[in-house]
Structure 1
Amino acid sequence: MISRRYAVAASAALAGINLPLRSTALPRCSAFVSTPRLKHDRTSDLHFQPSTLSPRYHFKSRSSPSHWPRAWPVKESAFKSFHSQSRLNGAAEGRTIPSVSVSDAFDGGNGELVATSWDGDETTVTVRIRPDKYTELEEKSHFQYFCFRSTISGVSEPTKVKYEIANAGEASYAPAWEGFTTFASTDLNTPESWMRKLDSSFDSEKGVLSWTHSFEKSGSAYFAYFPPFSYERHLDLVARCASTADCSVETLGQTLDGRELECVTVGTGPRKCWIIHRQHPGENMAEYFAEGLLSRLLGLEAGGSVDGTSKRLRDMYTFFIVPNMNPDGAVRGHLRTNASGANLNREWAPTGDYDAPTLHRSPEVYYVLKRMDETGVDAFLDVHGDEELPFNFLAGSEGGTNWGPRLEALHGAFLAAYQRANSDVQQNISYEPDKPLEGMTNVGSTQISNRFDCLSGTLEMPFKDCVSNPDPTRGWNPARAKSLGTSLLDALLYVHPYLRTKSEFWKSLPANDAYVRPNDKYK
Structure 2
Amino acid sequence: MGEREFAILVTPEHAPPINPSPWYAFSFVARGDEGISVRLDYAGARHRYLPKLISGATVTAMPVDVVEDGSSARVHIPAGSGIVAAQEPFDLDRHDLVLDRLAALPQAERVELGRSLDGRPISAVRFGDPAASSLVVLLGRQHPPEVSGAIAMEAFLQTVADEIEAGQLDNGRIQFLAVPVLNPDGVARGHWRANRGGKDLNRDWGDFSQPETQAVKQWLDAAPRSVRPVAMLDFHSTRRNLFYVQGEDETGAREERFLAGWLGDKTAALPGYPFSIERRNANPGSGTAKNWFSATYGIPAYTYEVGDEADHQATRRAAAVLAQSFLDQIMLLDKM
Shorter-chain TM-score category?
Answer: 0.7 to 0.9
Can you list the C-alpha shifts for 1:262-319, whole angstroms capped at 9, x where unaligned?
Answer: 11122235431111001111112233233223323334xxxx99446xx325455211
Superposition map of 1:18-167 within 5 A: 116-118=1-3, 123-134=4-15, 142-153=20-31, 155=32, 157=33, 159-167=34-42
Superposed displacement of residue 345, structure 1:
0.3
Aligned residues: 330
1:288/1:481 contact within 8 Å kept: yes
Rg bigger for which structure?
A: 1
SS at match of 2:256: helix
Mark the runs of 5 or more structure 2 residues left unpaired by the alignment: none
Superposition map of 1:300-449 within 5 A: 306-307=165-166, 311-312=168-169, 314-349=171-206, 356-358=207-209, 362-373=210-221, 374=223, 375-386=227-238, 389-390=239-240, 392-398=241-247, 402-416=250-264, 419=267, 422-428=270-276, 430=278, 433-435=279-281, 438=283, 440-449=285-294
Aligned to 2:156: 293
1:260 pairs, out of 121, 138, 162, with 121
Superposition map of 1:502-517 within 5 A: none
Mark the runs of 5 or more structure 1 residues left unpaired by the alignment: 1-115, 350-355, 467-475, 506-523
Can you list the C-alpha shifts for 1:375-422, whole angstroms capped at 9, x where unaligned?
Answer: 421011000011xx33x211002288x424432332232213655884
Q: Distance in 2 between matches of 1:418 and 1:317?
A: 25
Superposition map of 1:212-223 within 5 A: 212-215=76-79, 219-223=80-84
Aligned to 2:61: 196
Aligned amino acid, residue 495 of structure 1: Q
Structure 1 residues 286 and 441, CA, compared in 2 at 3 Å: closer, same or farther? same
Aligned to 1:208: 72
Superposed displacement of residue 126, structure 1:
1.6
Aligned amino acid, residue 163 of structure 1: V
1:417/1:494 contact within 8 Å kept: no
1:130/1:143 contact within 8 Å kept: no
- The two structures have a TM-score, normalised by structure 2, of 0.86
CA RMSD, Structure 1 to Structure 2 (Å): 2.9
Aligned to 2:329: 495
Does 2:137 correspond to 1:274? yes
Aligned to 1:3: none
Aligned amino acid, residue 298 of structure 1: A
Deviates more, 1:362-371 or 1:336-345: 362-371
SS at match of 1:166: strand
Aligned amino acid, residue 128 of structure 1: L
SS at match of 1:128: strand
The structure showing larger relative contact order (alpha-carbon pairs under 8 Å, at least 6 residues apart) is 2
Can you list the C-alpha shifts for 1:336-379, whole angstroms capped at 9, x where unaligned?
Answer: 11011110000001xxxxxx212xxx111111122234342101
Aligned to 1:251: 112
Can you list the C-alpha shifts for 1:216-259, whole angstroms capped at 9, x where unaligned?
Answer: xxx42211121111122223332343344452111111111111
Structure 1 residues 306 and 421, CA, compared in 2 at 3 Å: closer, same or farther? farther
Aligned to 1:113: none
- The two structures have a TM-score, normalised by structure 1, of 0.57
SS at match of 1:285: helix
2:108/2:126 contact within 8 Å kept: yes
Structure 1 residues 251 and 424, CA, compared in 2 at 3 Å: closer, same or farther? farther
Deviates more, 1:420-429 or 1:245-254: 420-429
Q: Distance in 2 between matches of 1:425 and 1:499?
A: 27
Structure 1 residues 429 and 289, CA, compared in 2 at 3 Å: closer, same or farther? closer
SS at match of 1:448: helix
Structure 1 residues 240 and 410, CA, compared in 2 at 3 Å: closer, same or farther? closer
